[in-house]
Structure 1
Amino acid sequence: MGDICILNFNHTYENQDFYKKKDYKIIDLYDLKNVSRYCDEKTLNIIRKKLYDIENYKIKFIDSGNYHYISYLILEKIKKPFVLVLFDHHTDMQPSYFEELMSCGCWVKKTLDDNEYIEKVVLIGNKEELINSVEEKYKSKIICFSEEYIKDNYKWEEFSLNIDKPIYISIDKDVLNNYESKTDWDQGSLTLEELKKIYINICANHTIIGIDICGDSAVNNDLFSENNTINNKSNKKILDIIAEEESIYESNNI
């Protein structure tokens, strides 16, 4: 399995170096039109074909949160029961404004509708008001830890013992404060240190079958250059967190 797969939607990562000492692959998607935030089924199928071997890379960097719906396509490739752990300031479970389109705001809902192998979704760092707006029929499938709840110093290691399936991790950096990450959406207040604590305690005793990260700043943002420098640092830190968790997992299973 390779280390990292980089999805090149709009050249965001070209001036970042967090991945360049790793075994990485770049998949070019910048020639696709009308894929930011929303994507029609025809274009979604084109992307599916381009991602034919993405499961061979444990860590996927997806670019801006505008493309978070790519996680839906990655999860399609999992053919055994699993739990999705989502770090995100939004639930991504909103009804699509256009039923025929996939969007960055509805991909979790569509995954629960379409993916027969997903058993639970653990939502971490969402706004309380968005959690409350989740449709009733999905509530038995989700476990929620709002941004406000996290500040109560919950014992994550105890919670993690209740997860008995392999875990797929999806991180949208809009869950972080805007000092340590710069996104194109409203952001939460988690620090990278808090993300690390939660991540390691949830994952330390479980098999992680894949990870994706999004939430970089799009190149058309007026502050892109400044944002990119900050995001390069946060991406590197997230890779360090993943490596530390892997080391702990290996030590616990010797």
Structure 2
Amino acid sequence: MTTTITNTDDVLIQTGIFTKEAAEFRSAKLNEPQWLAEKRRAGWTVFEETPMPTLSDEPWRRTSLKKVKWNKFALDVAPSLARVDKLADLPEDIRHMFDEDRAAAGRMLIVNGQIIYQELDPAVAELGVIYTDLQTAAREHTDLVQPHLMNKGVPPSDSKFAALNAALWENGTFIYVPKEVEIEHPFHTIVMLDGEGATSIHRTLIVADVYANVNYIEENASYSRDNLGLNV
């Protein structure tokens, strides 16, 4: 059964940048495998059929979405930061966020869906641990990603915005830790918005095998305090 959406805010969000065509374009641009494209389509279907949350919904009873100007946001805003190979080449304020003097199993900076910096401790990699962006993982480690992505944790049916994320996510973090492997130091990902109207539609997937142990830190931030941005 298809639900007819009549909520004004919901119509606005669907006629802005968040469209079925945008989801299809993103899938084609990323050259996604068929199974992943199908998950996007399924996410969009749930999004269309799920009404926008209102103040009568318990999780949203103190948050009104009526004044959100959805048409002020944009997908695929190019970040001002260029990709770097060394932590020392990042701006000082971002290095400070990473606490560069503290040991880490791996670090990753994702800005507007693009990988700006990524590192993995070679000793950790030798244990069979994978720490990469989710788009790369979906292509190169399909056997680890496909059974779990959008099936467990936060499926599209969880909420209106979970469905939107499933349909329009651009990238994310993926960690795999083999059986009985314990990682001493944490992985640290910073997901950042950069530019006026930028959106961050990010997913995180951690697959830890039996008796594995891993710690993960994820920060969401804006590179500018003055720009309007949206994190879904």
- TM-score scaled by length of structure 1: 0.29
